[in-house]
Each structure stands twice: as C-alpha cells, then as structure tokens.
Structure 1
Amino acid sequence: MFLINGKERDSLAANDRAVQFGDGCFTTARVRNGKVDFLEAHLQRLQTTCHALMIPFADEAPLRDEMLQMAAEKGDGVLKVIITRGNGGRGYSPATCLTPTRILSVSPAPAQYVRWREEGITLVLSPVRLGRNPHLAGLKHLNRLEQVLIRAHLEQTDAQEALVLDSEGWVTECCAANLFWRAGDTVFTPRLTHAGVNGIMRQFCLSLLAQSRYRVVEVNAREEAVQQADEVLLCNVLMPIVPVKAFGEVCYLSHELFEFLAPRCESSD
C-alpha cells in the first residue's frame, strides 16, 4: 500500500525530482503493535535532511498523522517514508519546485533479522567504496546507487552483510547498517563526517553507551581494526542489534556488548 500526499495511489509523476535526480530523502521505521518506534527521531531526521537539501518541507503534522494511521493499520512491519522535492522541469534548478511530495508505504518485517540475532552473521569486505562528501555525509538521501552496487556484489557471496570503506579506505558502515566494534572496555564506531548514514539506532546506541561503563570513540579506522576487535555488532532500527560471528578468516566469540545493547534496544521507545 502506498500513500502519496495523503491519497492511496501506486504511481508517481514522471517529472517528480525523485525520478529525475534522486532528489529527496527517506527514513525506514519499525512498526510494532501498531506503533512507530522512534517516531519523533524519524520525523526529526526528515526535517533535518530536508533542511540540508534545501527542500521546503513543512507538512510534519499531516505526515505524523499518516504515519500513525498506517502503523495502526499494519500492526507489525516496516513503514517507509520518502520526501521528494516534488515535480520539476528538465534542468537541475530547484527554483520552481515549491511543493514536496511525501510517499508512505508499509511492508512485512524482514524475517531474517530474528535468525541473525540468534545465530550471528558473517561479513565480507565490499569492493565498492563510498564517495566522500562532507555536505551529504550522515544524511539518508535518495541517492543510494552505491548501496545498490554493494548489495549486488554481496549477493554473489555467502556473507549476510558487507563491510564498506570510503574512497580513502576508512571503515564507514555496512550495506544497510551501522557498525560498532569492541576492544576491551572501549567501543569504536566509524566517524561519519565524510560518508555514511548516521542511523537512528546508531544514535540511540551511542546514547546508551555514553551512560555505561564503556568508553566510546568515533574513529577513522582501517579494516584491520575490525579484524582485531573482541566483538563486532551491526545495528539499524529494524534489526535492531545483530552480532557478527566472522569477518573473513576472523571469528568473534564474545557477546558481551551484544548482551548489553540488545535488550535495551528491543525495549526502546
């Protein structure tokens, strides 16, 4: 089911900027028992990203109502919200785009995440690297061609997720998740000032860790740092926390950090 600007439709104008240029942003939320996890954080993400992209989005009230309505009807699953700059002309200029388009859709929850949480997953190094762009770093914009290619390469392997570097070789994220690794009592996560998505679950985990006994460091690190870790975790709002059991030839046996974060993230919001 799709809701486009408040109406049930399954088609978008061919001149919408999302179609022409990938001009917009999105967020993907977990729906449980008819409610949207981290609702306020998702709305804030959309507002922040629209501001950064200079999209004049001001329809938060109807969007909130639509999200709540669709979640109540779905019960459990995934709610995706897309904001595009709206319809426009052939060229790049956004000057004539005054009315953004909002698109909502619901789908079933990914079944594999339950198994991943119980069994752990394996990582493989992606041959596709992320371009560095500090103006767009951290934002979940619609230009996801890099992730499409990362996923296409990943599907040619037996691994469940891919460790992704940026164009300078720094560990950045995974295809559809953020990354944490632990060495002793220190927890590391990639610094996202030049590439990557600053996910809502990543932010929530950082807030939990800031109040814990763990020391948290955002770093520029090479893949060797991940290989030398005691423990590696992935997170996004749908997982929400998944342990990594192996990266290449390296196996991780500890679940200490996973056991700290997983129940807190499951009971969040």
Structure 2
Amino acid sequence: MFQINGKLTNKINIKDRAVQYGDGVFETIAVKENLLEFWKEHYHRLNKGCKILKIRCPSELFLRNEIFKFLEKIKKKKFVLKIIISRGEGGRGYNPPKKANPTRIMGVYDWPNYPEKNLEKGIIMGVCKTRISTQPYLSKIKHLNRLEQIIARSEWQKKSISESLMLDFNDYVIEGTTSNVFGVKKNIFYTPLVKLSGIEGVIRNVILKILKKKKERYKEKNIKLKELLNFDEIFICNSIFGIWPVKQILNKKFLIGKKTKELINHLKYIKKN
C-alpha cells in the first residue's frame, strides 16, 4: 500500500524529481504494533538530509500525524515503512525549481523473511568489487541515489552470503551494502568513519550511544580490510534486522563474542522499553 501527499495511490507524476534525478531522501523504519522504532532518530536524519539538499522538510508533528493516519489503514502488526521526501515536480534540467512543493511518499512492505540463524549463529559476508565514491557533501544521509549499492548487491546471488562489505577507493572499509559495520579487538569497539562516504545509520548511532552510556571504549576510524579481518568479533547492523553477528568474511572465521551478545541483548531491551 502506498500514499502520496496524504492520498492512497501508487501513481506519481513523471515530472517528479525523484523519478527524473533521484532528487530526495528516504528512511526505512521498522514498525511493530504500530510503534515506529527509533522514530526520533529517523526523523532527525530525514530532516538533516532535506536541509543538505535544500528541500523543505515537513515538520515532525505533521509527518508523524500523517504517518499514523496512514497506518490506521494497515492491518499488519509487523512491517516495514518507507518514507520518501522528494523535491517535487520540476521541468527538465538539474537546476532545482525555486518554488517546488516537496512530495511525501509512504509505502508499506512485508517484513523480510530473515533466517533466525542469522542472529543466533552469525552470517557469512563477502567483499564487493564495487567501490564507494567519496562525496563528503552527501555522506551520512540517505539520499535516493543508490546505484553503487545496487551494482554491489548484484555481485552475489548465493543464499549462503547474507551481506557484503563495500570499500572506498583508498581500500578503507566503509559499510555493507545495507548495513554499518562494527568490530571488537581487545574489548575496544571499532567502526569505520563515514565523514567522506557511507551512511550514518540510525542503529549505528544508537549503538554508539549505548557504548558511551556503558562507558565502553570505542573508536571511529579508517579501517583497512586486513585490520578488520584481525578483529576478535565483528557484527553488522541496520534498522530492520538490528544486529547480526558475523561468523565469516571470505575465508576468515570469527566467534560470536561476549561483547556482541551483550549489545544484541541491550538493543532488544531498548526496543521493548
């Protein structure tokens, strides 16, 4: 089911700049029992992305009310909500129209059928050949241009591989195709910098806040693949599946360690409360 500017429809004007140029931002939110998980964090990033692209973002109150009116029509208890804010309709050419009215798009998707073993026993990851380009102006936000991730995700079809790492052109690990990456070495947490490229994931930021609150040691830094493969524990995260431990990258195997298990339990606690 889809809604555009408050009306139930799956039709959008072909002149919309989301269609023409990918001119907009989006958020993907887990919804359980009509609860928007980490709504504040998602809206903060959505608003930040709109400000960077100079798109007028709906107020949090307005958007939240519109979302819940939309959700009243949904009979499912657990699903994925995608929100897109585009610049709106415009003519040909890259120059943004000065008086464009932003388009609000909402879509409901079935909850992914992830194997339970991903959480319990860990996942196997590959390493993509496709590299992430450097663009500090667009790093951190979830803009609609996802071609790098699309090309990277098409590199593998094996069901045994759940996710793959993406590196930049300096050979630094940035993220997975749909996730952020963490490692643990000698009880210190590490995660790649996303200042020049990559997405500042909502769950990534939640985890960093948890670590700070628990007074755990952590570092955001440039990490080469060789260094990552020498970590004691590795896990990935995103807003839908939460945290998945990593049991293997290429031919290197890892144990699901104590620190990863503690974080999984802590995140579950936060979601319930």
TM-score, length-normalised on structure 1?
Answer: 0.95
Q: Which residue of 2 aligns with 1:17?
A: 17
- Residue type of the alignment partner of 2:226: E
Any idea what SS the aligned residue of 2:255 has? coil
Alpha-carbon distance between aligned partners in 2 of 1:210 and 1:229, rounded to the nearest angstrom = 20
Alpha-carbon distance between aligned partners in 2 of 1:91 and 1:97, rounded to the nearest angstrom = 15
Number of positions where the alignment pairs a residue of Structure 1 with one of Structure 2: 269
- TM-fit CA distance, 1:115: 3.3
- Residue type of the alignment partner of 1:230: D
Confirm or deny that 1:62 pairs with 2:70. no
1:264 paired residue among 255, 260, 266: 266
- CA contact 1:185–1:213 (8 Å) conserved in 2: no
Alpha-carbon distance between aligned partners in 2 of 1:45 and 1:114, rounded to the nearest angstrom = 29
Kindly report which structure 2 residues correspond to 1:35-114, keeping only aligned pairs within 5 A, or say none.
35-71=35-71, 73=74, 74-112=76-114, 114=116
Alpha-carbon distance between aligned partners in 2 of 1:38 and 1:169, rounded to the nearest angstrom = 32
Q: Which residue of 1 aligns with 2:117?
A: 115
User: Superposition RMSD on alpha carbons, in Å?
Assistant: 1.5
117-126 vs 209-218, which moves further = 209-218
Any idea what SS the aligned residue of 2:40 has? helix
Q: Which residue of 2 aligns with 1:224?
A: 226
Any idea what SS the aligned residue of 2:135 has? coil
Please list every run of 5 or more consecutive structure 2 residues that lacks an aligned counterpart in the other structure.
none
- CA contact 2:246–2:256 (8 Å) conserved in 1: no
1:172 paired residue among 146, 171, 174: 174
Alpha-carbon distance between aligned partners in 2 of 1:82 and 1:228, rounded to the nearest angstrom = 39
Q: Which residue of 2 aligns with 1:240?
A: 242
- Residue type of the alignment partner of 1:22: G
TM-score, length-normalised on structure 2?
Answer: 0.94
Q: Which residue of 1 aligns with 2:207?
A: 205
Any idea what SS the aligned residue of 2:116 has? helix
1:254 paired residue among 253, 256, 270: 256
Q: Which residue of 1 aligns with 2:32?
A: 32
Identical amino acids, percent of aligned pairs:
34
Any idea what SS the aligned residue of 1:154 has? coil
- Residue type of the alignment partner of 1:187: F
- CA contact 1:31–1:71 (8 Å) conserved in 2: no
Any idea what SS the aligned residue of 2:154 has? helix
Q: Which residue of 1 aligns with 2:152?
A: 150
- Residue type of the alignment partner of 1:62: F
The list of structure 1 runs, each at least 4 consecutive aligned residues, that deviate by more than 6 angstroms after superposition, is none
Please list every run of 5 or more consecutive structure 1 residues that lacks an aligned counterpart in the other structure.
none
- Residue type of the alignment partner of 1:233: F
Alpha-carbon distance between aligned partners in 2 of 1:142 and 1:251, rounded to the nearest angstrom = 34
- TM-fit CA distance, 1:91: 0.7
Any idea what SS the aligned residue of 1:267 has? helix
Q: Which residue of 2 aligns with 1:5?
A: 5
